[in-house]
Structure 1
Amino acid sequence: MTALTAPALEPVATLTVRVSAPLEAGEITGTNSRGQRRIIPITGGTVSGRLNGRVLPGGADFQLVVSDTLADLDARYLLQLDDPAWAGAHVFVQNRALRRGSPEDIARLVRGEPVAPAAIYFRCAPTFEVSHPALVWMTESLFIGTGARFPDRVEMRFFRVC
Structure 2
Amino acid sequence: MTGSESLEARLGAHRLLRAAAAAVLAVHGLIHLLGVALLWRWEEPGQLRYDDVSPASASLPGTIVGGVWLAATLLFLLTAVLLLAGRPAWRPVGLLAALVSIAVLLPSASIALAGLAVDAAVLIAVAAAVAAAHRSPRRLDAGRPR
TM-score, normalised to structure 1's length? 0.21
- Structure number with the higher helix fraction is 2
Q: Which has the larger radius of gyration?
A: 2
- Structure number with the higher strand fraction is 1
Q: Which has the higher contact order (CA 8 A, sep 6+)?
A: 1
